[in-house]
Amino acid sequence: MATLFIAIGAGVAFIIAYHTYGRWLGGKIFSLAADAVCPSCRLNDGVDYVPTPKAIVFGHHFTSIAGTGPIVGPAIAIMWGWLPALLWVVLGSIFIGAVHDFGALVVSLRNNGQTVGDIAGRVLNRRVRLLFLLVLFMSLTIVLAIFGLVIAAVFQQYPSSIFPCMVQIPIAVAIGLWLHRKGVGLFVPSLVALAVMYLTVIWGDAGWLHSINQTLAGWSKMQWVLVLLGYSYIASVLPVWTLLQPRDYINSLQLLTALGLIVGGLVWATFLGGAPPVPGAARPALEIVAPAWQFSPADAPLMFPFLFITIACGAISGFHCLVSSGTSSKQLENEADARFVGFGAMLTEGFLATLVILACVAGIGLGVQANDGSVLLGEAAWQTRYASWTAAQGLSAKVGAFVDGSANFLKAIGLSPGVAVALMGVLAASFAGTTLDTACRLQRYVVQELAATFAPRVSRSACGACGYDLSFNVSGQCPKCQAPLSGHDHPTAGTGVGLNPLVWLTNKHTATVFACVVAAAIAAMPLPGQSWAWANAGKGGMILWPMFGATNQLLGGLSFLVIAFYLWRRDKPIWFLVLPMVFMLIMPLWAMGMQLFVGFGKTPSWWSSGNWVLVVIGLATLALEVWMICEAVLLMPRVKGVLEPVLEGAAAGVAEPVSSAGTETRGVRC
C-alpha cells in the first residue's frame, strides 16, 4: 500500500503546485498575457517559427526534455536509498526544475524566441553570450554522441522495440501533412496514430517482423549511431511541422498512455498482487524491497553532491533551457500557454521519475528471471540489479531495472510478458529518440550563432554596424551589437558567400552536417585502452559521459542566472530564484571538481587511464563557468532596474518598464 500512497501523494503534490505556485509565477512574476504577440506569429517562417496549438507544443516539449534522463538517473540514484531520490525528484521538480523551464521559456518568448545563450549577451554582456554558447556546444555534442549509443543499447537489449520505434517516423510525417494541409482537428489524427502505434507494439515482433528486428538488433553500435545521426540531420533541417512536431506529439500520446497503464498496473498490484511468477503460483504482494536510506553503498561516490547530479532530468536539467528557448518558444501561439508547457511538462516528467523509482524499488520485486531460468521475488530480485554500485552502473542494468519493474506492473493487469516488455522498451527508446533529433536542431542553432559571431562581413545580410552575419537570423535586431535591422534587406537563409568556412556554417544545412560529423567522430573514438576498430566504435560518447551530469546541471544554474538578471533589470522579485540558482551552481562545481581532482577514494580513473579528452573538456568547462559567474557577480549591482536594449518587435509582459533603447510591443494573438 505504501507504493500506491507514494504515487498518489506525488501526483497530488504536482497538481497542487501547478495550480498554486505555477499560477503565481505566471501571473505575479512573469505577467503572462493572452494578447501578447508571440515570436511564432510575428516571425513565422514555416520552418522554425510556426504557430502551433499548445497540445502539440506540450508533446514536443515533454518528449524532448524527458529523454532517458528521468529513467537512467533515478534507476541508479536509488542506490543511496529510495527516500532521498524521491524527495529530490518531487521537491526539485516543483521548486527548481519547473521554475527553471518555465522561466527560460518566458524569457525566450519575450526575446523573439532567442536561445538563453543569445539572451545572456544582452541581459549580462557579450562576453557571457560567447562563453554560454561554447558551453552549449560542448554539452550538446555530448548529447548527440551518447544518445545514439543509448538507443542502440535499448534496441540490442529489447529487439521487439525496433519496428514500433521505426514506424513512428512515417506515421509522424503522415500526421504532419494531414494536419498542415487539411487543417483538421487533433482528435481524429491522434486516435488513429495512437491506435496504429499500439498495434505495432502488439504485433511488431510477429512473423517476418521478428526476423527484421533480430537482424537490426545485430547491427553494431556505430552503424546505429550513423543511421540515427542521419535521421537527426533530416529532422533538424525540415520544417518543424513536417516531422519534429508530429513525431514528438504522437510519441507523447503513446508515452503518456503508457504511464497511465503503469499507474493502473500499480493500483491493481497493490490490491490483488502481481502476475503469478509461474503458472499456478500465487500472486506476489507488492511491497518496497529496497532500503529507504543507504548513505554509503559499496564503491559509490558521496551522496552529496552526486545525488543531485545523478538525477538530473527528473528534478532539474540544464538541457531543458535549450528546449524551452530553442524550439518551444518558437512554436507557442499564445503566451498564456507557457505555464502549461514549461511548468506543466516538467511536473509531468517529475511524475515519470517517481514511477521509475517505484518500478525499481517495488515493481522489480514482483519477479525477475535469474541466470538459471528461475524467477526471483522480493529483495532477492532487487539484488540482481543492485548488488553494488558497480553492478548497477551499466546502461543495460539501469534501463533493464526500469523495464523489468514497470513491465511487472503491466503484467499485473493481464498484458502478456512480450507486449509489456516491448512497450517499456519502446518508451525508453522513444524518449531517447525525440531528445536526439531536438538536440540536433538546437546544436544547429548554436553552430550558426558561433559561426556568425566570427564570420567576416561578406554578405548583403551582414550587420552594417559590426559585420555580424545575419544570413540565418530572423530577429529584428543584431544579436551581437543590438543594432536595429531597419534599412537592411530581410535576411534569408543561404545569402552568405565566400570561401571562409565560418560563413558556410551560418547555413542551416552546413551547420547541421558539421554538428552530426563532430558527434559521429567522437562516437567513433575507442574507449581508453581499446584499439581503433569497427567493433569498438560507437562508444566514444562514454569518454565524455562522466562529465555530462555535472556540466548539464551547471548549465541549469547559469540559465537561472539569465532568468534572474532578466527579472532584476525589471525590478521584479528574484528571491524565489536565489536558493535554486546558488544550489545549482555549487553542487555541479563541487561534483565536477571531485571527479577531476579527487576521485572516489583513489586516483581519478580518467587520469590513470589517459582519458585526457575528458580532462581537457572538464577543465575548460570549469573555467568557462567560473568566468561567467564572476561576470555576473560584478555586473549585478549596476543593472538593477536598468532595462537591457530590447529587441525590435519583441513582445513583453504586462506592465513592464520600457527603456529608451527600444520599444516593447503588444498585440493580438495570431
pLDDT in tens, 202-212: 999 999 999 99
Tens of pLDDT, residues 256-271: 999 999 999 999 999 9
Q: Look up residue 539 and give its amino acid.
A: K
pLDDT of residue 283: 96
In contact, 47 and 411? CB cutoff 8 Å: no
Q: Which residues 6+ apart lie within 8 Å of 281 measured at CB?
A: none
In angstroms, the CA 529 to CA 609 distance is 7
Whether 664 has a pLDDT exceeding 50, the answer reads: no
| Mean of pLDDT values over 342-356 | 97
Q: Where is average pLDDT lowest: 22-26, 132-136, 608-612?
A: 608-612
Tell me what the mean pLDDT of segment 370-392 comes to.
Answer: 85
For residue 227, pLDDT over 90 is answered with yes
Give, in degrees to the nearest 5, the angle at Cα 291 between 289 and 296.
145
Beta-sheet pairing, 375-376 with 368-369: antiparallel
Question: What is the tally of helices (H) and strands (E) in the chain?
Answer: 29, 2
pLDDT in the model for residue 483: 64
Q: What DSSP state is assigned to residue 78?
A: G
Pick the closest to residue 146 from 68, 243, 219 (CA basis): 68
- Whole-number pLDDT of residue 654: 38
pLDDT greater than 60 at residue 665: no
* Alpha helices (runs of H) in 496-599, residue ranges in sequence order: 501-504, 508-524, 541-568, 575-593
Mean pLDDT confidence for 637-665:
59
Rounded mean pLDDT of 112-123?
90
Contact 89, 356 (CB under 8 A): no
Helix pair 395-412, 126-157: axis angle to 10 deg: 60
8 A C-beta contact, residue 243 and residue 173? yes
- The phi, psi pair for 368, rounded to 5°, reads -135, 155
Q: What is the pLDDT of residue 620?
A: 84
Calculate the CA dihedral of residues 169, 173, 174, 178 and round it to 10 degrees: 150
What is the spatial distance between Cα 256 and Cα 135, in angstroms, rounded to a whole number?
A: 32
In contact, 493 and 509? CB cutoff 8 Å? no
Task: Give the span between the Cα atoms of 60 and 247, in whole angstroms.
Answer: 8
Flag whether pLDDT at 474 surpasses 80.
no
Q: What is the pLDDT of residues 295-324, one digit of tens each?
A: 888 778 889 999 999 999 899 999 999 999
pLDDT at res. 652: 43
What confidence score (pLDDT) does residue 598 get? Answer: 74
- pLDDT at position 318 is 93
Task: Convert the pLDDT of each residue in 56-77 to its tens digit.
Answer: 999 999 999 988 889 989 999 9
For 147-161, 438-452, 622-636, 656-670, which range has the lowest pLDDT when averaged over its residues?
656-670
Residue pointed to by grid coordinates 564503491: 299
- The whole-number average pLDDT for the span 373-382 is 91
The whole-angstrom separation of Cα 615 and Cα 201 is 43
Report the length, in residues, of the chain.
670
Max avg pLDDT among 63-72, 357-366, 476-485, 504-513: 357-366
What does the pLDDT look like over 9-52, one tens digit per residue? 999 999 999 999 999 999 999 999 999 999 999 999 899 999 99
**pLDDT (tens digit per residue) in 615-638:** 787 888 888 888 889 999 999 999
Instruction: Determine the straight-line distance between the first and last CA of the chain, rounded to whole angstroms.
Output: 49
